[in-house]
């Protein structure tokens, strides 16, 4: 992963005097850090921005080492291979991710559950080789022996979405440490975390992608929302759709209750949340919830959520409407 710094000259006016932009790749997605400079040409800003970008690159590399199921040597792959029968000592990031996943499973009533790796492998979304396991016999995602510092998985897990959210959370924290008071926007393949510059200045404007566009094709957003501080994540079937071995059209968003791809009466769900990991969790859980109950459920939880229905209609919760500055 190599970052390249550049003075941003994008279509949108960046909050602050100007911006610095760094880009690279991580977790199979483009990774971009945009920093709002306080004064153009300030060398201290540039040095701080470089430190912040290095911290972002380092954080994503560490998270990938811990949580990527596509890597043969990651901690999660080694732990997945021991699932159901042995414990392992792993690092704090992975322990944190597993505990957060377990909590997310409970809070979403099982609509979010990382123990869908068997279903993903079955429909052809393959990662590092992990032996298939029997049906899960426990509700727990992880068994922790804190005294011995050991972790055991009842069943193998895929930490894809929440893993990226946690990487964004920790990377954003390191950016704030490197550049206190600066506005920044960190974009990991469409999942975002940012903070507007201090004061009453402009906020970041986030476009909500039209999921009906074919992959690779760019088009105008369905809506534009403001982001002053927090995160935005989207669960969508625009990409990661394919035909499985048995001839079905499938996608990567598995409903843990059926172990099958969730019925696609929604194209995409976007959630704005204070925390990027929870934005990921709720975007996925609401997508799996489906069109029938997504509105009442998202409203009842006070979530800022936008969703695109199968006919292309964009709907949103009242909290999302407050943040929306334009919709087509």
Partner 1 sequence: MTDKRRPVHVPVLVGASAALYAASLAGVTALQSAADRATIEARAPAAAAVDRLAARNEAVAKALDGLRGRMDATGTDYGAAADALGSVEVRLGDLATTVADVAGQVAALPDRIALPSVPRAPAGRAAPSVHAVTGASGK
Residue labelled with tokens 């959210």? 165
β-strands 204-208, 191-195 pairing: unpaired
Near partner 1 by CB under 8 A: residue from 3, 18, 26, 32: 32
The CA-atom distances, in angstroms, between 234 and each of 165, 171, 191, 237, 273 are: 11, 19, 7, 10, 11
Check residue 214 for interaction with partner 1 (CB under 8 A).
no
Q: Report the residue number, 28 or 292, with the smaller CB distance to partner 1.
A: 28
Q: What is the dihedral of CA 96, 26, 177, 228, to 10 degrees?
A: -100
Check residue 300 for interaction with partner 1 (CB under 8 A).
no
The CA-atom distances, in angstroms, between 55 and each of 3, 32, 98, 306 are: 11, 13, 23, 31
Q: How far apart are CA 186 and CA 126, in angstroms?
A: 28
Near partner 1 by CB under 8 A: residue from 57, 162, 168, 206: 206
Contact indicator for 118, 259 with CB cutoff of 8 Å: yes
Check residue 30 for interaction with partner 1 (CB under 8 A).
yes
Q: Report the residue number, 14 or 123, with the smaller CB distance to partner 1.
A: 14
Check residue 236 for interaction with partner 1 (CB under 8 A).
yes
Check residue 233 for interaction with partner 1 (CB under 8 A).
yes
Check residue 187 for interaction with partner 1 (CB under 8 A).
yes
Q: Which of these ranges, 57-65, 109-117, 134-142, 216-224, lies near partner 1 under the rule CB under 8 A?
A: 216-224
Where are the alpha helices (H) located in 108-231, listed in sequence order?
117-122, 160-178
Q: Report the residue number, 125 or 170, with the smaller CB distance to partner 1.
A: 125
Residues of this chain that interact with partner 1 (CB under 8 A) are 10-14, 28-30, 32, 34, 161, 164, 185, 187-192, 204-209, 211, 215, 220-221, 224, 232-234, 236-240, 268, 270, 325-328
């Amino acid at each position: 992963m190599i970052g390249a710094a550049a003075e941003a000259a994008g279509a949108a006016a960046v909050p602050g005097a100007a911006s610095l932009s760094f880009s690279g790749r991580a977790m199979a997605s483009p990774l971009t850090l945009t920093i709002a400079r306080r004064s153009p040409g300030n060398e201290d800003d540039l040095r701080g921005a470089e430190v912040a970008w290095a911290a972002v690159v380092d954080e994503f590399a560490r998270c990938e080492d811990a949580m990527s199921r596509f890597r043969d040597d990651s901690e999660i792959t080694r732990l997945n291979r021991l699932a159901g029968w042995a414990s392992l000592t792993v690092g704090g990031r992975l322990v944190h991710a597993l505990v957060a996943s377990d909590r997310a499973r409970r809070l979403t009533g099982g609509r979010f559950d990382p123990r869908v790796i068997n279903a993903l492998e079955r429909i052809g979304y393959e990662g590092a080789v992990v032996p298939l396991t029997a049906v899960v016999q426990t509700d727990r995602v992880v068994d922790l022996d804190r005294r011995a510092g050991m972790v055991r998985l009842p069943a193998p897990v895929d930490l894809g979405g929440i893993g990226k959210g946690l990487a964004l959370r920790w990377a954003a924290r390191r950016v704030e440490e490197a550049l206190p008071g600066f506005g920044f926007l960190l974009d990991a393949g469409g999942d975002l975390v940012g903070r507007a510059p201090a004061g009453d200045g402009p906020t970041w404007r986030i476009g909500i992608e039209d999921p009906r566009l074919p992959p690779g094709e760019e088009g105008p957003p369905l809506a534009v929302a403001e982001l002053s501080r927090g995160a935005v994540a989207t669960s969508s079937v625009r990409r990661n759709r394919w035909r499985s071995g048995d001839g079905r059209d499938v996608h990567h968003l598995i409903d843990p209750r059926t172990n099958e791809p969730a019925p696609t009466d929604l194209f995409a769900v976007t959630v704005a949340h204070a925390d990027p990991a929870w934005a990921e969790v709720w975007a996925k859980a609401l997508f799996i919830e489906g069109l029938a109950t997504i509105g009442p459920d998202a409203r009842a939880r006070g979530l800022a959520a936008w969703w695109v229905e199968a006919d292309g209609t964009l709907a949103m919760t009242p909290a999302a409407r407050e943040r929306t500055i334009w919709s087509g």
